[in-house]
Amino acid sequence: MTKPTLPLLPPTMDFPLGNNVTMTLDLVQAGGVRFYSLNLLGQALVNRQAATALAELIKLRSPACEVLVAAEAKSIGLIQELAMLLGHEQYVVLRKSQKAYMVDPLVTTVRSITTTGEQQLILDRHDIALLKGKPACFVDDVVSTGATYLAAQDLYRRATGSDFALCACVATEGAALANNPHGFVRLGHLPLYDMNGAAI
């Protein structure tokens, strides 16, 4: 018996961000999965457009969100634009390596679906004062398994005793998040495939 062949995946996918701004995403593979890569690094117009759309959704969902938090590094342009649009003077970036200026930082580990090996997320103690007593929003480019979000949540909970008010991302990814069961603020959804091209 012949094994059925799966359809060939298109090499690119268009991802609309509104106001006639569309990103063309390349199909890539990493960590045993295939996905359309939404890379915000260096994309000033895309970050501005995505932040404008997300800011409106955040205001509707959590008007009291006072602090934005993101993990290094792909979401830094996005969080910068969001902070300006929401009138925030500061935001918090969770680092992936410890710096000499950090004193007794909070550290947790995370394994992302699109990176190889385990990574660290680090919250500098200097940022804890900015977070305490304020509702915070976690900002990410793409949420696939939610591993980065949960690791960031762990740091935020250890620092403040609270949970994030919400998570805002440009896109969720994969079958488990297609119907947005966690209520993330998002602009769209992307498919995720195994190495044979089957949706996962």
Provide the residue ranges of all domains of the chain, joining segments of one domain with +: 43-191
Query: Residue range 4-33: average pLDDT?
Result: 86
Q: Which residues pair with 71 in a beta bridge?
A: 94
The band of 83, judged by pLDDT with boundaries at 50, 70 and 90, is very high
Query: Residue range 172-195: average pLDDT?
Result: 95
The band of 40, judged by pLDDT with boundaries at 50, 70 and 90, is very high
Is the model's pLDDT at 114 over the cut of 90? no
The band of 113, judged by pLDDT with boundaries at 50, 70 and 90, is low
Give, in words, the CATH class of 43-191. alpha beta
pLDDT at 62: 74
pLDDT tens-digit series, residues 126-163: 999 999 999 999 999 999 989 999 999 999 999 999 99
Is the model's pLDDT at 1 over the cut of 60? no
Indicate the pTM of the whole model: 0.91
CB atoms within 10 A of CB 78: 25
Is the model's pLDDT at 111 over the cut of 70? yes
Can you give 149-176 as a three-state secondary structure string? HHHHHHHHHHHHCCCCCEEEEEEEECHH
CA angle 24, 78, 48 (to 5 degrees): 70
Which CA distances in Å does 95 have to 9, 49, 150, 166?
35, 25, 15, 20
What is the phi/psi pair of residue 25, to 5°? -100, 135
CB atoms within 10 A of CB 183: 9
Q: What is the mean pLDDT of the chain?
A: 91
